[in-house]
Homo-oligomer: A and B are copies of this chain.
Amino acid sequence: MNTLAEENYLKAIYKLSLTAGNVSTNQIAAELATKASSVTDMVRKLAEKALVNYTRYQGVSLTKAGEKVALNIIRRHRLWEYFLVEKLHFKWDEVHDMAEEMEHISSTELIDRLDAFMGHPTRDPHGDPIPDCDGNFKVTELKPVSTVEINTAGVISGVRDHSASFLQYLERQQLTIGKHIIIKEVISYDNAVILEMENTQIQISRDVANNLLIAL
């Protein structure tokens, strides 16, 4: 149906669309580590296939059809990540690159059976929601630890930075998905945040607090 390159572009455009309206050529180029001229070419191709809306110099947005394809790729990516962690016992910082390849395996029957085999999980190992086969998923409002008030209690539920180094850091601090925490104090000098988790206090930097998401 769509080539591997097309799928990667659609996924990138979807991701960028979450924090912007129309997505710019340069944003896509940065996301995919490619050049703006390559993006222009590909975007024209996707527009011809009616997967994106595009007018010269105005950026792009996904059409309904394009969004459906993107959500399907994300579904596959997150289900494979879940499989790798839950069944093959990889750590959450090890699975992204493998899933990046596996998400392009095309059979929908395969992905639906994989979904059933694992009991229809709703979130991947990083806390991100797994769309169902129609592209629907529950949106839960998550907040960066850095944005909530003192004495707020919450459950660690996601990350904004998916890099291996950040995930490894969280793992070492035991700040993993599902843990209950209370925000106790913000140091005014450097905005470091002191949390309480399982009756012990942990201090995290402002950067970490920005990238760690909790459900209230």
Give chain A's interface residues, CB within 8 Å of chain B: 84, 87-90, 97-98, 101-102, 104-107, 110, 113-114, 117
Contacts and interface: CB of A to CB of B under 8 A. Distances in A.
Nearest to A107: B98
B98 A105 contact: yes
A81 to B, nearest CB: 12
A88 B106 contact: no
For the complex formed by this chain, how many copies does it contain in all? 2
Given A87-B117, A88-B117, A117-B88, A105 B101 contact: yes
A113 B90 contact: yes
A110 B84 contact: yes
Nearest to A90: B113
A104 B106 CA distance: 13
A197 to B, nearest CB: 31
A134 B104 CA distance: 27
Nearest to A106: B101
Nearest to A110: B98
Contacts of A117: 87-88
Contacts of A88: 110, 113-114, 117
Contacts of A102: 102, 105
Contacts of A84: 110
5 contacts: A90-B113, A98-B110, A101-B105, A101-B107, A105-B105
Between A90, A105, A110, A117, the greatest number of chain B beta carbons within 10 A of the residue's beta carbon is seen for A110
Contacts of A97: 107
